[in-house]
Amino acid sequence: MLLIQNGRVVDPARSFDGVADVLLEGERIARVAPKIDPSLVASGADRFDASGLIVAPGFIDLHCHLREPGNEPAETIETGTRAAARGGFTAVCCMPNTHPVNDNASVTRFILDRAAATAAVRVWPIGAASRGSAGESLAEIAAMKDAGIVAVTDDGKPIATAKLLRHVMEYARSLDLPVIEHSEDASLFAGAVMREGPASVRLGLHGMPAATEAICVARDVQICMLTRARLHVAHMSARESLELVREAKRRGLPVTCEVTPHHFTLTDEDVVYDSRYKMNPPLASREDREALLAGLADGSVDAIATDHAPHTQASKEVEFDRAPFGVTGFETALGLALEALVHSGRAPLARLVELFTAGPARVLGKKRLIAEGEPADLTLFSTEHRWTFRAAESASKSRNTPFDGRSFRGAPMATIVAGRLVWRREK
């Protein structure tokens, strides 16, 4: 038993915002009330004084790479989820581009078994849409659903053809699974390492235009219209893509999208010859970033997702052209979101909480709220705590982040999963 006292409970799913106590019993929330008399709670109950802190539903990350099986030098389910816990995440969805690819039930079961044995937070695997994510034939989607996947994707690239996407979406619809698309046109993307524009010209690096993403989103929305399956646009970076998602939503289509913290805080003007600024999709223009921030504030964007993509030092410490795409992201996500949305005055705190909780839950067809009987997953954070992120102190095995040394106002303070305190900030 755990009694969380005096925190400000912010629960967007119930439109609740006020000081309250929360009692956790076993793996569930037992009670939420303005004041719970500790003398009425069993004497063995632990207490957590959350005075001055926000008590939010447990954060969900829709998009991360845990690298296990196959690339354990970069990350494991254990180290990745420890980093996730430090970022306030209580559940993370891991992408299927492991080695082997998670395209069948035995890999899904392996991931869940490893998670049960080693993970600090819940791990919700995402299955490949096509066999080997090779874009030719369907993966074993139904068997993976039975084993525990929560969505399908060929992340790293889009589902190869409109015909295969149609097939995947028809299948996913019958299984009530969302299809997550890494939207990019391969022909426009070929050879690119950053966004095309004045910055790429100045650096002499091969760029790709915003249309690379939007062309694919347009295709995906058309197939969504045809199949009525749930479509989720991953790590969206361009204003034009957001407009397509907005239009799809206006038409009542089941289309959702996510944005990463690096895309709503950095732009292509920040790119230097340092592979910690190389990710896919690449950092976009200032106009794109402003559009994404507006979409996060007005509800057009459904979730903040990290796209935590760890890489070993050796693989990243090469010429910009040769380095793999991707940056780590669990531990800096909340600090960046508070800065860009709340402290800037762009969005109220409840909206930020929604983007980390009820929003991503909805994408997966789940709920996320603080109420009696719900899973006891909670994220406790401060909007004011001052701290500096040091990549060397990260729980992740990898250090490939452009935010090393960045100072923040606001931080995750404690992470509770299934009624257990899995991490607590010490300083």
Q: Looking at the annotation, which residues are catalytic?
A: 307
Write out the binding residues for Zn ion, residues 261-300 only, by CB under 5 A: none
Please, what is the minimum distance in Å from the beta carbon of residue 381 to Zn ion?
A: 27
Closest CA to 154 of 186, 112, 111, 122: 186
| Residue 40, phi then psi, degrees to nearest 5 | -90, -5
106/161 with CB nearer Zn ion: 161
67/182 with CB nearer Zn ion: 182
How far apart, in whole angstroms, are the C-alpha atoms of residue 65 and residue 67? 6
**Part of the chain binding Zn ion (CB under 5 A), chosen from 49-57, 68-76, 152-160, 395-403:** 152-160
Q: Is 155 in the site for Zn ion (CB under 5 A)?
A: yes
Please, what is the minimum distance in Å from the beta carbon of residue 182 to Zn ion?
A: 4
Tell me the residue nearest to Zn ion as measured from the CB. Answer: 182
Site for Zn ion (CB under 5 A): how many residues? 2
Please, what is the minimum distance in Å from the beta carbon of residue 158 to Zn ion?
A: 9
Write out the binding residues for Zn ion, residues 182-211 only, by CB under 5 A: 182
Contacts by residues 72-76 (CB-CB < 8 Å, ≥ 24 positions apart) = 73/312, 73/397, 74/310, 74/311, 74/312, 74/315, 74/397, 74/398, 75/310, 75/396, 75/397, 75/398, 76/114, 76/118, 76/397
155/185 with CB nearer Zn ion: 155
What end-to-end distance do the CA atoms of the chain give, in Å? 25
Q: Is 61 in the site for Zn ion (CB under 5 A)?
A: no
Please, what is the minimum distance in Å from the beta carbon of residue 61 to Zn ion?
A: 14
30/259 with CB nearer Zn ion: 259
**Part of the chain binding Zn ion (CB under 5 A), chosen from 24-32, 69-77, 154-162, 239-247:** 154-162
Please, what is the minimum distance in Å from the beta carbon of residue 4 to Zn ion?
A: 36
**Part of the chain binding Zn ion (CB under 5 A), chosen from 40-48, 74-82, 140-148, 150-158:** 150-158
Please, what is the minimum distance in Å from the beta carbon of residue 18 to Zn ion?
A: 38
Write out the binding residues for Zn ion, residues 166-185 only, by CB under 5 A: 182
**Part of the chain binding Zn ion (CB under 5 A), chosen from 148-156, 196-204, 286-294, 331-339:** 148-156
145/157 with CB nearer Zn ion: 157
151/416 with CB nearer Zn ion: 151
- Contacts with Zn ion, residue ranges (CB under 5 A): 155, 182
